[in-house]
Amino acid sequence: MEKLREPFSERELEWRVLNVYTSGNTKKAIVCPYVTARAIQNRLDDVVGICSWKVSYDEWASNSVKCTLSLRINGEWISKEDGSDNTDIESTKGGFSSALKRAAVLFGIGRYLYYIENLHVTLSDRKINPNDVYARVKFDGKHYNTFFTPPDFVSKMDPLQPTVTEKNTEKPVEQNQTMHLLDPTDSSISASGLVQSIEWFKEYFGFKDKEFINVYRFIFKTNIKALNEADNDHLQVLYDRLNAMKNLEDSRGTMPHAMVQEWLSKSTKIEIREHREMLMYCSDELLNECTNAIKNNRKKQA
């Protein structure tokens, strides 16, 4: 089954622009790769055989679809499922495709793509290299037709070795590991107290040290090497967001991650696929709004 987790070739990947910014007079972007549904189907055909996998789709909540992906392993059918909202373009087809991708990740297909750090590219108004990718982007209220060279990231990682983040997400926090929440209105809270609380959240969500510092640098556009160098106001913002993320996780209950991710993605206009992106792009107000929406929906269904 390790072959399911092998990286995809460049031609099997597509790219999505998450954010556009300027560096001097140059337009740049943060981009992320994703695998196509057809590539997933080809991978399943090649690894388990054309007759040893199957998918089924069911209506899932309002305007959503759930995909159940089943593989025949050692004579037994093993099933995993996840879902997605229908997309705005080709809504039915888009929803099926997105749900299949999410279900495939549960078998490890393309999972390595979830753990790469931010990929920055330079945008150009013309194609420079043969493999350049076209992207229509919006910046400062205007749309631009741009091209960028896909960054080489596959050669720098080993997808068969689970990352620290992946290991941590599979291991729940110990029951005796408690978090003493701070009162954000208490002006006497020291920077060291905030750092200690943030370190707890960092471990809870499975952030790697370097990954977390890179998130900090992205949010606050400043360069630090460790949290103890951080500005106290910045630490407070981080704490508020992480605390809101924890409250959202606690409130989610049996609701699939995909539904929460879709809600946040629609609100931010950026695809939120993991905790790193949630921390980078979602304010504590937005996260609390999502938590309240979950609670209100649960009350209506009760």
Domain map (residue ranges) of the chain:
2-156, 164-301
User: Which residues, in sequence order, are bridge partners of residue 30?
Assistant: 19, 120
Residue-wise pLDDT tens for the chain (302 aa)?
789 999 998 888 889 888 888 888 899 998 888 888 999 999 999 999 999 999 998 876 556 788 899 999 999 999 988 776 554 434 445 568 888 888 898 898 988 887 776 789 999 999 999 989 999 998 888 899 999 999 887 655 544 444 433 333 333 333 333 444 444 444 334 566 778 888 888 888 888 888 899 889 889 888 888 888 888 889 889 999 999 999 898 888 767 777 888 889 889 888 888 888 999 999 999 999 999 988 887 777 76
- The rounded Cα 137 to chain-centroid distance in angstroms is 20
Name 218's Cβ contacts closer than 8 Å, sequence gap at least 6: 118, 280
The model carries a pTM of 0.51
How would DSSP label each residue in 12-79? GEEEEEEEEEEETTEEEEEEEEEE-HHHHHHHHHHHT-TTSEEEEEEE-STTEEEEEEEEEETTEEEE
